[in-house]
Every structure is written in structure tokens, then in C-alpha cells.
Amino acid sequence: MITKFTIQKIMDEARVEDIVGEFVTLKKRGSNLQGLCPFHNEKSPSFSVNPARNIYKCFGCGKAGGPLQFLMDYQQLSYPDALRYIANKYNIEIEEEHRSDEQKQAEQEKHNLTESIYIANAAAQKYFTDYMLNNDNGKIGLAYFKERGFLQHTIDKFQLGFAPDAGDGFTKYALKNGFQLDVLKKAGLTSPKENSTYDFFRNRVMFPIHNMTGKVVGFGGRIMIKDEKSPKYVNTSESEVYNKSKLLYGAYFAKQEIRKKDECLLVEGYTDVISLHQAGIENAVASSGTALTPDQIRLIKRITPNITMLYDGDNAGIKAALRGTDLILEEGMNVRIVILPDQEDPDSYVKRVGVEAFNKYIQENKKDLILFKSSLFAAEAKTDPIKKAELIRDIIESIGKIPDAIQRSVYTKQCSQLFDMNEQILITEVNKARSKKASEQAKTERRQEPKQQQNNNTGNNNPPDDYYDGSNGPPDDYYPPEERDNAPVHKERFANTDSTLPYLEREVIRVLIEYGNWGIMNEDAEVSVTAYILDEMEGMDIETPRYKPIYELVKREFAEGNAHPDSFYTGNDDRDIANLAIELLETKNHVSENWFAKHKVVVPEKKDLFVRDIQSALLRLKQYHNIVEINKIAHLLRDAQDEKESERLMKLWKLLMEQKKEFARTIGNVIYRPST
């Protein structure tokens, strides 16, 4: 494992403009660099590189990150491989953490096994392909592919082959060429049988399955004879390198075209993918007959947010189209469905009508998921009130899973019109569905918390009566000018909660990340901003679930003596933390370097404003908690039965009120009030 010291050294040395510049043509624009986004098609550049913050962001598709993230997303590298790529580029020596001999041996054995499985799979692929092309007994496999209309260059591209009917033909070949039997078993290529072994794949045409870097990780085999006792398709069993729930067939060959077209076509089977690629539609992948999984969806999401699902026109195809779609919505992706004409699948249809007519049909018959469900059952539901209610509830559940408020609003309105229902009723039901889900998620999280933490969360948490209700977000002057247009999006993210606290905590987290390793005077000594803020936060915590993980990371690192620069967070191997840090730090608008020359206006530098920035964020949060405490005391005073207790509470209430006035005087603006 690469040491933290080396990782930080790599992060410090890596320059985003150098890494991105290897793949994207960048031009100077103000203090930033700009170019055409490599993650989606665009004619006008919206891809911005910020050398000062060492991050990039596309304001068209939303992709963002640092040097590491760019390599991981664009080159499909793993986190360690991206680190090594940068280390090699900047001639940085990589140090490995000290491990015991046992740990080193175990890791080495695991690494050796993984590499051996890769090599065995590669050898198996070559064996199956060679057997099909050059052995008379393998011609049956080649004939099958030719009958399916696959040209030789397509067969070569997908490395198709044929597994012989002989019981142990491949196993004997592999053992003869130096492969260990244990590796062949763990790769899923050889199976034990009493005192002997036999090939796992026999008398099947073979479809190698590749990971995103192009390595063969497993196989799918289709039987060549009708046998009710044998499944039509079999796949490699789970191994160190093969997990079918995390793989999509054809993704390695499709990733560049998916990125270029900003759309992924999702089909059911191997032959669907191959036929579409052969026809020039190379942004197609398949889930290989399995129910779509969150890992597969995220694999697509790394490349594009747009999925179009193509399915057969029979009942089975329609049911398949609906499986897993709510998972896609939950990931914030755009999903559309195309049902092909009856008795057709993507493989047969593109061959019958040709690529031009196929593409035209897709474009004319795309339906978003909600409207697809609605139109599918609307005719029947209109004559049956019970089925109509069931359908609407089903649609509401799906709408409630969409994180984007605008999309939810559009879908709700369309469903309202389609079913001739009051839109406000649907909005209320969608909000109920979202609240129910949030409540269930909160209960799950609480069950996972240590008992002591749960005890600390009990008590009266009702907000004060005189607080601003927060339902419309914070006051207009809260957001910096460049963020005000996006304010409703932030507000919606915290719907059905006290909507003021997240904004205040957001600012504390922002200054903590932005200035963490800067120096600041605390009494008579200079300390890091991290130390200063954590000291000021004594007795308070970050409560917003979205910001809590990054705050806990800051505290853990500080406990080890680390006060990190922002690059530690924007380049973190935890993508959620990295993306959040970038979101907090990056804005679309930047002051031009020649602002003074043009307008004779002096723009203060960050170093002149950062203390005020930090103190403002802390004071606003303290102000909030001050009034929460005033509210608690007010409730206790109202219910107090003992005179001495009332006197004690009154003194505390007066002290808190004085603090409230001091906060208002110091901050000099509207008090932020949580909802009642």
C-alpha cells in the first residue's frame, strides 16, 4: 500500500493543467484554462481548469475533480494506478507502508493469484478463438457466428471463440503450457470431477467478458445443442477478478462512444451488443441477462448520466425494461425506454431494417420512464379506478426517487394531465413518499450509531418560535452572487428538514477545506485554521448528513497532527468527499486578472479576507445554535414547576439573549431562524 506521505507528495506535485492538458486542448481564459469537455459532446467549451485550486469542472455535464479523478474517469484507471501514473510522470519515488512479513506474503499471494487468473483467462480466450478458426471441430462455432451475420472483423474485435466438446481439452492444454491447476479452478475454467478434472465450458460458443481496461475477466458460453438439462447460457463463476454485478458486457469497447454521444444504450444480451457495434452503433452495452445492479448503473454514470434501455416488444421484454429502473432514477440519471416492435430484439431489428431506420425508430420512440409507465397502463387504468390508483401510486414511488426537483415537478405535472388529477395532490403524495424514504433511512442510520451517540441525540429539538421558517431557503444576501442562481437546488436538497442549518454548516465546512492549512492568530499564537475552527466548534457538531463525513475526516486527520490543504480533499480517494469538496470550492464565474486595468476596481485577495470569511461562517452557526438553546430554555421555563429552577433558567435565558444581541450586532444582518 502506498504511504500517506507519498500520496500527499503526489497530490502536491500533480498539476491538473499538466494531466488534463495531455488529453484536452486548453486555452487561457482569465486566471483559468478552458477547453472542450472530454466527457460529453459540445461545440462551445464549458470545461474549465482551475490551476489555483488544482481542479477541473465542466459546467455542461457536471464532471469535476482533480488530477487523480481525471485519470480515473477518462482513462478508467484505479486509484492506485492513477497515483502511479502521476508518480511516474513527475519522477516521484513511491514508498510502500511497512507491513509484517505475513502481510506482505498474503498481499503478494493475492496479487500473484489475480495476475495469474488474468493470464489464464487471456490464454483461454486465445485457445477458444484459435480452436474455432483453425480446428475442423471448431467450425461449428464459426458457422453459428456467421449465421448470426457477424463479420470476421467483428469476431476479431470481440475475441469470440468456441469451447470444444472434449471433456478436458482446454485443461490439458493449459497444464501442458505451465498453468497451475489451482489457478485454473479459481479462474472458473476447470472444475473437479471425482479424481479428475474437466473443462467448465464445453461445446459452447464463447463470449469473453472484459473489464474497463480491456482484460478478460470471465466468459459467457452459449450451448450449441438443445439440452433441457443444461442452461442455454452459463457464465464464469465469481472469482477474484469476475463479479458479474459490477460488469457490463461490451463496456470496454463502448466507453469512448458513450462518452462521445453522451448516451449509453442498454440491451439484454451479448449478440444485441455485437450486432449494434457491427452496425456502427458502438455506445451499446448489456447487463448479460442479470437484473440491473447499482454498481452497473454507477459504472455507466462515470461516463454519462443518460441511459436508453432497448428491449423486446413482448411481455417479458416490457417487464425486463421496468426492472432496476428505479435504481437508475435514484442515482440521479436520465433513463429512457424503447420497446422494439413485437418479435424483434436489437440484434434482429437492426439487421432487418438497417442502421438508419433503426436509429430513426429509437429517436422517435424514446420515452422517459414515468411517461412509459403511464402510457403503458393508462388505457386500462382509465376504466378501472382500482388499477388507476395502483398505477398512480407506482408512478409516485418512482417520481419520489428522483433527486432533481425540476425533473420531479415536470413528471408530476405530466402525470397529472395524463390521469386528469389534481397536481397538488400528486405533489403532496410525492413529498410523502420522499419523507417516508428519508425517515426509513434515518432510522437505519440511527440503528447503526453507537448507543451513547443515540442518547446524546434525545431531548427537545423543537426550534424557537421566533425563527425564520427556512421554507424558502436562506435570505437573498446569504449566497455569494455567483451562487444565487443555484440556490433553489441547494434548498431542495434539504426539503422536509430545517432548511437553514445545512447552509450554515456548509459554509463552515467550506472554510475548513479552503483554508485548513493556513495560519491564523488565536490569542497570542499562530495556529492552523483547522485547529482554530475545531477549537471554536467545541460543544457543537456538524449535523447535516451530507457534510458530516468530511467533517469527521478533518477531525481524524487533525488528531494525527495533520492540517491539510484543499487538494487533500479535492483529490481524496473517497469520491463523495472529493466531489463535495470541489462543489464547495469551485464556482462558474471568476474575476479576470486584468479587472483593475479595465475597471479601476481593486479586488481584495483571499489572504486579506480569509479571517473575516472564517469568523463570519463560525458566528452564523453559533448564532443559530444560540437561538436553538433560547428556544429550549423557553420551553423549560414554560413547564417549570419549581421556583428555584425557574430562577436558574431565567438567568440562563437572559445570558443567552445577551449573546443573541451580540451575535446580531457583530454579524450585522438578518438572524437565520430554523422552522417552528
Could you tell me if 150 and 223 lie in one domain?
yes
Average pLDDT of the chain is 79
Could you tell me if 262 and 214 lie in one domain?
no
Residue pLDDT, tens place only, 473-515: 333 333 333 333 333 333 332 233 345 788 889 999 999 998 8
Could you tell me if 183 and 135 lie in one domain?
yes
- Residue 186 counted as domain residue: yes
pTM, two decimals, is: 0.57
Mean pLDDT, to the nearest integer, of 344-373?
89
Residue pLDDT, tens place only, 398-442: 888 887 777 888 888 888 887 778 888 888 888 888 877 766 665
Given a contact cutoff of 8 angstroms between Cβ atoms, the answer to whether 232 and 223 are in contact is yes
Count how many Cα atoms sit within 13 Å of the Cα of residue 157 in the half-sphere of its side chain: 15
pLDDT for 457 beyond 70: no
pLDDT band at residue 590 using 50, 70 and 90 as cut-offs: very low
- Residue 455 counted as domain residue: no
- From the CB of residue 534, how many other CB atoms can be counted at a distance below 10 Å? 18
Q: At what angle do helices 501-515 and 548-559 cross, to 10 degrees?
A: 40
Could you tell me if 649 and 503 lie in one domain?
yes
The residue type of 336 is R
Could you tell me if 178 and 288 lie in one domain?
no
Name 48's bridge partners: 34, 57
Residue pLDDT, tens place only, 192-214: 776 778 899 999 999 999 988 88
Residue 107, CA distances (Å) to 84, 102, 202 in order = 18, 9, 34
Res 402: pLDDT = 82
In terms of pLDDT, which residue wins out, 159 or 166?
159
Could you tell me if 317 and 385 lie in one domain?
no
Could you tell me if 150 and 132 lie in one domain?
yes
- Residue 476 counted as domain residue: no
C-alpha cell at 553: 475526516
Taken in order 391, 392, 396, 397, the sign of the CA dihedral is negative
Could you tell me if 515 and 642 lie in one domain?
yes
Res 370: pLDDT = 73
Count how many Cα atoms sit within 13 Å of the Cα of residue 148 in the half-sphere of its side chain: 23
pLDDT for 99 beyond 70: no
Res 486: pLDDT = 38
Res 608: pLDDT = 56
Mean pLDDT, to the nearest integer, of 516-540?
85
- The single residue listed with the C-alpha cell 450586532 is 665
Please report, for the domain that includes residue 123, its CATH number: 3.90.980.10
Q: State residue 573 phi and psi, 5-degree precision.
A: -75, -15
Please report, for the domain that includes residue 287, its CATH number: 3.40.1360.10
Lowest mean pLDDT among 150-159, 348-357, 383-392: 383-392
Could you tell me if 156 and 230 lie in one domain?
yes
Count how many Cα atoms sit within 13 Å of the Cα of residue 659 in the half-sphere of its side chain: 17
Res 314: pLDDT = 67
Closest by alpha carbon to 303, among 346, 252, 240, 377? 252
Closest by alpha carbon to 35, among 19, 18, 48? 48
Res 301: pLDDT = 81
Quote the percentage of the chain above a pLDDT of 90: 24
- Residue 127 counted as domain residue: yes
Mean pLDDT, to the nearest integer, of 344-348?
90
In terms of pLDDT, which residue wins out, 315 or 544?
544
Burial of 11 (0-12, 13-18, 19+ CB in 10 A): buried
Res 668: pLDDT = 58
C-alpha cell at 607: 489572504
Could you tell me if 64 and 164 lie in one domain?
no
Res 319: pLDDT = 65
Last residue of a domain, one of 179, 213, 242: 242
- Residue 281 counted as domain residue: yes
Res 484: pLDDT = 35
Res 603: pLDDT = 44
Long-range pairs for 30-34 at CB < 8 Å and ≥24 separation?
Answer: 30/590, 30/591, 30/592, 30/593, 31/590, 31/591, 31/592, 31/593, 32/590
pLDDT for 552 beyond 60: yes
pLDDT band at residue 462 using 50, 70 and 90 as cut-offs: very low
In terms of pLDDT, which residue wins out, 340 or 103?
340
Given a contact cutoff of 8 angstroms between Cβ atoms, the answer to whether 38 and 74 are in contact is yes
Residue pLDDT, tens place only, 108-164: 788 788 889 999 999 999 999 999 999 999 999 999 999 999 999 999 999 999 999
* Domains held by the chain: number: 5
Res 224: pLDDT = 85
**For residue 249, what is the DSSP state?**
B
Residue 219, CA distances (Å) to 131, 178, 233, 242, 288 in order = 16, 21, 10, 9, 11
pLDDT for 72 beyond 90: no
Given a contact cutoff of 8 angstroms between Cβ atoms, the answer to whether 309 and 334 are in contact is no
Could you tell me if 216 and 264 lie in one domain?
no
- The single residue listed with the C-alpha cell 495531455 is 22
Please report, for the domain that includes residue 42, its CATH number: 3.90.580.10
Last residue of a domain, one of 442, 463, 494: 442
pLDDT band at residue 524 using 50, 70 and 90 as cut-offs: confident
Q: What is the Cα 271 distance to its own chain's centre?
A: 29
pLDDT for 350 beyond 90: yes
Could you tell me if 83 and 143 lie in one domain?
no
- Residue 530 counted as domain residue: yes
Please state, in angstroms and rounded to a whole number, the distance separating the CA atoms of residues 413 and 116. Answer: 56
Last residue of a domain, one of 70, 89, 108: 89
pLDDT for 341 beyond 80: yes
- Residue 124 counted as domain residue: yes
Structural domain that includes position 608: 481-587+602-667
- Residue 579 counted as domain residue: yes
Please state, in angstroms and rounded to a whole number, the distance separating the CA atoms of residues 258 and 282. Answer: 8
Res 440: pLDDT = 67
